[in-house]
Structure 1
Amino acid sequence: MNFRRLVSDAAWNDLLHRGQRRRYARATWLFQQGESPDFVIALTDGIVKITQLMEDGTETPLALRGQGEVLGEIGALLDEPRSASVKAVSECVGYVLPAHAFRGHVDRHGLNPTVYRLAIQRMHENEQLRTALTRLPPQARVARVIRYLAAEIGERGDDGTVALHLGMSRDELAAMASMSRSSAMAVLRALHDAHVLALGRERLVIRDSAALTELSEG
């Protein structure tokens, strides 16, 4: 679920029409935690990584988002500083809209319930994932995180496989699964050997979605 899937073609096209098209190179920060919420970005191409700086100074990846997402909308609506940072993990294209113009767009198209629903859904998904990671064994943790990411940015092939351009290190993937890098790598190798996954440097392919789902339930 993302913003594009929840709004009409007219509302989405109007949003793009009122924004300024901008291209972001890989590894570029779109905005950073703590900044003023002066604008939102409607992402039309590419994948971004959402990260949050913790109190101990570590940067933790929270999610990946793809085309059809609106970034920074909650801060713009609440007029509060950015709660997380967004970084391009591939070349991206987005339409930048000033915060006041986005608020006008939401009012004009009656989208307040839609934005609220999406925000609650995101919170619910994140809470479910965090809760699951406290009780699941290592293999199930990694499988659950990969399923979560696949739901957001997975590209389904004609052969039934699902490709994920992660754009994150193994350390970051391990952090998302609340485990050490060595433990996460051991699980990934086991899933690769079992032909559930095919591993690349910053990319992986889900070969057997049914098996991954079963494993993710612990």
Structure 2
Amino acid sequence: MNFRELVPKQAWIDLINRGQRRNYRRDAVLLRQGESAASVIALVEGTVKVLQTAESGDTLTLTLRGPGEALGEMGVILDLPRSATIRAVSGCVGYVLQAHAFRGYLDRHQLSRAVYQLAVERMQQVERMRADLARLAPAARLAHVLAHLAGEVGRPTDAGLLVELGMSREELAVMAGMGRSSAAPLLGRLQEAGILSLGRGQVMVKNLHRLEEMALGAANADDDLL
């Protein structure tokens, strides 16, 4: 569930109407980790990736987000610095609302509690995924990440769910907790099996059901394939 799906239709329209439209080029930074949470962006077009940099300096892609998201809402609600960086994977369109205006918007529509709960659920989702990846075999970890991204931003097409990754295969491998040398052959086998097809900066998921089975590490989930 994203922000647009959470709130009434008129509340989403009101958010858009109150915001200032901005266009973002591919690779543009929409929000930066550590900066003051001065605004919220309602994303209406495009895909972004959520990045977090550790004290060690290592940067990890946490997830992808698509249209219908309110970006940066948690920092505004809690009046805390940005906890992650948001970078455009594709050309994006968003509507920017200043922090005080967004808080007023939440009060007016009585959405503060619901939006807070959504933000907490999102953080818990990230933690659950980290815990799941820690217990899964490499093939299941990769399938888990791909299935998650397809669920978040997969765009239905005649061929399947198109996922604009906006990351290298090395980044994808790191997201799954494995090295590129391990991930590359697994991706190739998934493609050979017709479960997905690989493109530059994108993945077409052709069989989400089989991918999800593999993500669960089920005994019948084509383990011998990988």
Do Structure 1 and Structure 2 share a fold, with TM-score over 0.5? Answer: yes
Provide the residue aligned with 1:211 in structure 2: 210
- Work out whether residues 40 and 72 of structure 2, in 8 Å CA contact, stay in contact via their aligned partners in 1: yes
Partner SS state of residue 62, structure 1: strand
- Work out whether residues 77 and 116 of structure 2, in 8 Å CA contact, stay in contact via their aligned partners in 1: no
Provide the residue aligned with 2:220 in structure 1: none
Deviation at 1:74, TM superposition (A): 0.6
- Percent sequence identity over aligned pairs: 52
**Does 2:170 match 1:171?**
yes
Provide the residue aligned with 2:86 in structure 1: 86
Larger CA deviation: 167-176 vs 113-122 = 113-122
Please list every run of 5 or more consecutive structure 1 residues that lacks an aligned counterpart in the other structure.
none
State how many pairs are aligned: 217
Provide the residue aligned with 1:199 in structure 2: 198
Alpha-carbon RMSD: 1.0
Q: Distance in 2 between matches of 1:149 and 1:6?
A: 20
Q: Distance in 1 between matches of 2:107 and 2:41?
A: 17
Deviation at 1:157, TM superposition (A): 2.4
**Does 2:168 match 1:185?**
no
Q: Distance in 2 between matches of 1:56 and 1:143?
A: 28
- Work out whether residues 142 and 176 of structure 2, in 8 Å CA contact, stay in contact via their aligned partners in 1: yes
**Does 2:131 match 1:104?**
no
Q: How does 1:1-218 map to 2 (within 5 A)?
A: 1-158=1-158, 161-218=160-217
TM-score by length of 2: 0.93
Deviation at 1:120, TM superposition (A): 2.3
Deviation at 1:201, TM superposition (A): 1.3
Deviation at 1:127, TM superposition (A): 1.8
TM-score by length of 1: 0.97
Partner SS state of residue 182, structure 1: helix
Q: Distance in 2 between matches of 1:144 and 1:91?
A: 27
Deviation at 1:158, TM superposition (A): 3.8
Please list every run of 5 or more consecutive structure 2 residues that lacks an aligned counterpart in the other structure.
218-226
Deviation at 1:113, TM superposition (A): 2.0
Q: Distance in 2 between matches of 1:127 and 1:82?
A: 18
